[in-house]
Structure 1
Amino acid sequence: MSARITEADLIGSIADALQYISYYHPPDFIAAMASAYEREQSPSAKAAIAQILINSRMCATGHRPICQDTGIANVFVEVGVEARTDWTRPLQDMIDDAVRQAWMLETNPLRASVVVDPLDNRRNSGDNTPAMVQVQMVAGKDVHVTVSAKGGGSENKTQFAVLNPSASVTDWVVDRVGQMGAGWCPPGMLGIGVGGSVDKAMAMAKASLNEPIDITDLRARGPANRVEEMRLEILDRVNALGIGAQGLGGITTALDVKIATFPTHAASMPVALIPNCAATRHIDFTLAGDGPTTFAAPDLSLWPQIEGQGPIGRRLSLDDLTASTLASLSPGETLLLSGKLYTGRDAAHKRMVETLRAGDALPVDLKGRALYYVGPVDAIPGEVIGPAGPTTATRMDKFTEELLAATGLKVMIGKAERGAEAIEAIRRHGAVYMVAVGGAAYLVSQAIKAARVVAYDDLGMEAIREFTVEDMPVTVAVDTHGNSIHETGPRQWAQKWARA
C-alpha cells in the first residue's frame, strides 16, 4: 500500500512553488523571449525586451520577484480518485495556508495584492489570500498540482463573448487583441477557451496559459488539425498588428497562442481570451506519497548574454523640469531619470482628488514634479525598496485632468497607453507621460537610491512615497503636444508588416 499524501507535503510544496515562480521564469518562456529579442527590428521594442531579459536573470540570481505585481495565486489541483491522503480540511484552506506561507517569507516577501471585499472598502487581506483554486477528480493515485501567479494588468484585459456559431473565432480574437492596448504587458501568451459554458470557457482559457510554449515546433512540423491551424493564424495576425513589446511598436506581440475546446450548446459558441504578460510565472508538480516536491534551479546559461547592459539614454533631472526641457522630449525617446519623484496609484489618486475637491491642501507638493504609478514590494535587509515596476496608467486617467490643473504636476510614469481624455489633459497642461518597462521591476528598483513613505501610510503598498532615483530607465510615451508612441509605434510597424 502506497504512503499517504500528507497535508504538510501539499502545503509545503505549493508554498515552495509559489516562491520559486516569483523569481524564475519558465525556461521555455526565456527561450521564446530570447528568440524574440534576436528577431526584433524596432529599437524601442528591442530595448524593452532586453530590459525584461536582464531583469529576469537578475531575479534568478537574486531570488527577488520578477514583477512588483506578484499576482494572485492560481492553483489547479487534479486529485486521483485512488489517491491516499491524510487531509481533513478543505483544499481551499490548505492552499491558503501555502499562499500565506509563501507571501510572508522573510527572505523574499511578496506583495499582498488581494482585497477582501471587492464592492465595499476593498481592504487588503495582508497575505494575498484567498487563492483562486480549481479542482478536478481524475484517474490515478497521485495528486497533480499546477501553480501560477497572475498579475492584475494582464487579468484586467480578459475578454469574453458568446459568438454566433457561424462567427470566426480568429477574427474575434484578433479584433479583441487590437483593442486591448498594452496594459497586459506584451510580449506574452494568449490563452483561448472555446465551447463548454461561460464558466467552462474561462476556466479552459486560464488553464491553457500553463502549457509549454511550442509554437515554433508546431510551425516546423505543420498543423495537424483545425485548432493548430488557428493557433498559427492567430499568432501571425496578432503580431502583424504591430503592437510590439510594451505597445511601443514592433514585430512580436504574442509568443504563443493556446486554444482549448469543449463540447457546447448547439446555439452557442462561448469564447474566452485571457492574456498572460511578460511576467509569465507557473510550474507544476506531482505528489505520490513520497514526500514534498523539491524544485531545482534552472541553468543560468538559459538566459542570453545581452550586450550594452549599462544605462542608455538621455539623462534628465527630475529636480529641474522646465517647460523648455519638457517641450524638447519626443515620443519613443529613451531617458535616464535622476532626482526626486513621488509615487501614487489608484487609492492615492482617489484620496488626493477628494482632498482637492474639499478645498484642502495635499500632503505633498507636486508642482513641477514627477509621479510614478507604482506599488512596490517590501524591501528586505540591504535593499532601499523591493521590486518597483510600473502599474497600468489608464486606471489613473479619470484623475489626470484635476490633478494636473490643481497641482502643476508635470511628469507621470506608468505602463501602457493613456486614453484620449488623459492625453488631452497632458497636452493642455504641457505635461509629459513616460513608461517604464512592465516586467522589469527588479531592474527598475536598482535605480532607486532612497525611499520613504510621505503620506497615506495606511494604504500600504499604495501609500505615497518619495523616491530618489539615479538613471531610472524610461521611454517618452506622450509629449507636451499630445503625440503618443502607443499610437504611432504600432501603426508604423503594422504598415511594415503589411508591406512585407
Structure 2
Amino acid sequence: MTTVVSPTVISHDDLVDSVAAALQFISHYHPADYIGHLAQAYAREASGAAKQAIAQILINSRMCAEGRRPICQDTGIVNVFVKVGIDVRLAGFPASIVEAVNDGVRRAYLDPDNTLRASIVEDPLFARRNTGDNTPAVVHVEVVPGNTVTVDVMAKGGGSENKSKFAVLMPSDSVADWVVDMVPTMGAGWCPPGMLGIGVGGTAEKAMLLAKQSLTEPLDMLALKARGPANAVEALRIDIHDRINALGIGAQGLGGLTTVLDVKIATYPTHAASMPVAIVPNCAATRHARFVLDGTGPALLTPPSPDLWPDLPLPDGSTSRRVDLNTLTREETATWRAGETLLLSGRMLTGRDAAHKRIDDMLARGEPLPVDFRNRMIYYVGPVDPVRDEVVGPCGPTTSTRMDKFTGRMLGATGVLGMIGKAERGPAAVRAIAENGCVYLAATGGAAYLISKAVRSSRVLAFADLGMEAIYEFEVEDFPVVVAVDAKGGNVHEHGPKAWRIAAA
C-alpha cells in the first residue's frame, strides 16, 4: 500500500505578509554579518576621512534599528528570488507568484508607520512616470525539490546597481585582473565599503543573475581569512578582496584601507569558447533577508542584537570647521581645502536629476528661475517622506555624477556657491567648479537617517510636481560633510585614494 503524503500548503496571504514584513525589516536593519565586518573595518581604518565616514554609517545603522526608519533614502528596487518546493501546494492565489510578491512590495512601501521611498518608474524610455508604490519588483521563480518556499528579498539602491559591470573574457584571461581593473572605473557612487558579487559562466544573463544572487549570502571574509581557503574559489575571493583594498579607494572613495568587506563568487558551466563575467556591487546600505515558508504561517525575522554595534560618538565640531550657510560668501569658501571636514548650519536648497533638467531647460530658453540660487548651497537629495513628528524622512545624498552634465551652465548662470552630494565628480564638472570658484562637498552615502536629524525644517520652494525631486529649502544644524573639490580644483577623490594606494604598496 502506497502512503500518500499531503503537500505543504502555502497561502497567498502568508507570502504577501512575509514579503511585506521582510522589506520593512531590511529597510531599517542591516544584516548582522555586515555590521560585524564594518565594525572591524572601522577599528583598523587609519585614514581619518574614511574612518569618519564608516563611523557615520555605523551610527546611522544603529539609529535606524532603534528608530525603525530607512537606512538610506534610496529604498531601492526590489529583487526577489523565490524557490518553490515541488511538493508545495499554493492556495488562494488569485494571480501569479509574481503578483503576490508585488502585493507585498506595495504594502511595505506604503506602510504609514515607516513609509519607504517609491523610486520605480514605468515606461523607462519615455514618460518615466513613478508608479507610486515601488512596484513592480524584479522577481525570479524557480521550482526545486522539497516542501517549502524559500524567499530571498533584496532592496537594491540605484547608486550601486548603476555600477554593475559585464564582459565576456577569453577563457585564458584572468578574472581577478579584470575585476580589479574594473573597480576604479566604478568610482565611489556605489557607496563603499560594501561587497562585490561576481558571477562567472553560463551566458550573459546567467552571469549577471549569479552575481546578483551571490549578494544574498552572508559575509564571511573575516572567518575565511582566519581559517584559510579550502578550495580555489575561496582563494580567488581572498586574492580579489585584498587586491581591491590595496587600491586605496576606501570608504566613500575618500582614500583608506577598506573598499570591500567581502567578495562573493558564483559559477555555472559555460560554452568552451566563452567566459562571461559580471560584477554587481552592494553598497553600504546592504539590505537583504531570507525567509522560509513551511505552511505554519507568515515568516518572522530576528533583529540583530544591540551589542553588535560599537559605541561611537556623533560628529561634533572638535575636528571640523563650523560654517554658517546664511552668511556664507565666496571669499570664505575659497579658504576651504579638499579633505577638510565641515559642519554646516543654516539654509540650503535641494535639487537632483529632474530639477536640474528643468532648470537647465529654463536657462537655455532664457526664462527666469523660480528660486534665487545666488550665494546658496544646493544639496543633491530625494528625501523619504516624513512620518509622525519628523521634519523630513531619511535624506542622504544621491550620486553627484548624474548632475555633471548640468554643472557648467548651473554654476555659470545662477551664482550658486557650491553643491553637496555623494562620490566623485567627472573631469568636466571639476573644471567648472574651479573655473567658477565654487566648491563641491561630499556627504556620507549610507547615513541618511543620521543626516535627517540635522534638518530642523523643510519646505518646498519649486517644482512641487516632481515629488521627492522638487526643490526644497532645508534649515540644517551641524550637517556633516567633507570638502571633496575645493575652489582651486583640489580633489579628495583623486589625492585620497592615491595616497593610500602608495601607503599600501
Give the TM bin, normalised by the shorter chain: over 0.9
SS at match of 1:458: helix
Cα offset, 1:320, TM superposition: 1.9
- Cα distance in 1 for partners of 2:307, 2:24 equals 21
SS at match of 2:71: coil
Question: Is 2:55 the partner of 1:56?
Answer: no
Question: Is 2:127 the partner of 1:121?
Answer: yes
After the TM superposition, which residues 144-159 of structure 1 pair with which residues of structure 2 at under 5 Å, given as runs?
Answer: 144-159=150-165
- Cα distance in 2 for partners of 1:23, 1:311 equals 28
SS at match of 1:85: strand
- Residue 374 of structure 1 is matched in structure 2 by 381
Letter in 2 for 1:13: S
- Residue 44 of structure 2 is matched in structure 1 by 39
- Residue 326 of structure 1 is matched in structure 2 by 333
Cα offset, 1:301, TM superposition: 1.0
Question: Is 2:393 the partner of 1:358?
Answer: no
- Residue 396 of structure 1 is matched in structure 2 by 403
Cα offset, 1:331, TM superposition: 0.7
C-alpha distance after superposition, 1:415-454 (max 9, x if no partner): 0000000000000000000000000000000000000111
- Residue 192 of structure 1 is matched in structure 2 by 198
Q: Is the 8 A contact 1:370 1:410 kept in 2?
A: yes
Letter in 2 for 1:304: P
Question: Is 2:187 the partner of 1:212?
Answer: no
Q: Is the 8 A contact 1:193 1:204 kept in 2?
A: yes
1:18–1:334 CA distance, 2 compared to 1 (3 A): same
- Residue 106 of structure 1 is matched in structure 2 by 112
1:77–1:311 CA distance, 2 compared to 1 (3 A): farther
- Cα distance in 2 for partners of 1:492, 1:11 equals 50
Letter in 2 for 1:65: P
- Cα distance in 2 for partners of 1:484, 1:51 equals 21
Which residue of 439, 453, 458 corresponds with 1:451? 458
Cα offset, 1:90, TM superposition: 1.0
Cα offset, 1:298, TM superposition: 2.1
C-alpha distance after superposition, 1:68-94 (max 9, x if no partner): 000011111000111122134111111
- Residue 478 of structure 1 is matched in structure 2 by 485
SS at match of 2:346: strand
Question: Is 2:30 the partner of 1:25?
Answer: yes
Cα offset, 1:322, TM superposition: 1.5
C-alpha distance after superposition, 1:451-498 (max 9, x if no partner): 011111111110110111111000000000011000000000000000
Letter in 2 for 1:320: T
- Residue 73 of structure 1 is matched in structure 2 by 78
After the TM superposition, which residues 185-334 of structure 1 pair with which residues of structure 2 at under 5 Å, given as runs?
Answer: 185-307=191-313, 310=316, 312=318, 313-334=320-341
Q: Is the 8 A contact 1:389 1:439 kept in 2?
A: yes
Q: Which runs of 5+ in 1 are unaligned?
A: none
- Residue 10 of structure 1 is matched in structure 2 by 15
Letter in 2 for 1:370: M
SS at match of 1:94: helix
Q: Is the 8 A contact 2:373 2:414 kept in 1?
A: yes
Letter in 1 for 2:54: I
Letter in 2 for 1:66: I
C-alpha distance after superposition, 1:267-286 (max 9, x if no partner): 11000001000000111010
Letter in 2 for 1:165: P
- Cα distance in 1 for partners of 2:370, 2:105 equals 35
SS at match of 1:148: strand
% identity of equivalent residues: 60
Q: Is the 8 A contact 2:291 2:301 kept in 1?
A: no
- Residue 385 of structure 1 is matched in structure 2 by 392
Q: Is the 8 A contact 1:2 1:289 kept in 2?
A: no
- Residue 422 of structure 1 is matched in structure 2 by 429
- Cα distance in 1 for partners of 2:37, 2:227 equals 18
1:308–1:319 CA distance, 2 compared to 1 (3 A): closer
Letter in 1 for 2:252: Q
Q: Is the 8 A contact 2:8 2:87 kept in 1?
A: no
Cα offset, 1:307, TM superposition: 4.0
Q: Is the 8 A contact 1:3 1:290 kept in 2?
A: no
- Cα distance in 2 for partners of 1:354, 1:309 equals 39
- Cα distance in 2 for partners of 1:177, 1:297 equals 32
Letter in 1 for 2:60: N
- Residue 170 of structure 2 is matched in structure 1 by 164
Q: Is the 8 A contact 2:193 2:251 kept in 1?
A: yes
- Residue 487 of structure 1 is matched in structure 2 by 494
- Cα distance in 1 for partners of 2:265, 2:428 equals 36
C-alpha distance after superposition, 1:41-74 (max 9, x if no partner): 0000000000000000000000000000000111
Cα offset, 1:135, TM superposition: 1.2
- Cα distance in 1 for partners of 2:301, 2:34 equals 17
Q: Is the 8 A contact 2:59 2:314 kept in 1?
A: no
- Cα distance in 1 for partners of 2:455, 2:502 equals 38
Letter in 2 for 1:495: I
Cα offset, 1:354, TM superposition: 0.3
- Cα distance in 1 for partners of 2:401, 2:427 equals 10
- Cα distance in 2 for partners of 1:229, 1:331 equals 38
Q: RMSD over aligned Cα, in angstroms? A: 0.9
Cα offset, 1:201, TM superposition: 0.3
Q: Is the 8 A contact 2:8 2:88 kept in 1?
A: no
Cα offset, 1:228, TM superposition: 0.9
Letter in 2 for 1:243: I
Letter in 2 for 1:281: R
Cα offset, 1:294, TM superposition: 1.5
- Cα distance in 2 for partners of 1:180, 1:295 equals 33
Q: Is the 8 A contact 2:191 2:445 kept in 1?
A: yes
- Cα distance in 2 for partners of 1:310, 1:418 equals 27
- Cα distance in 1 for partners of 2:194, 2:317 equals 25
Q: Which runs of 5+ in 2 are unaligned?
A: 1-5
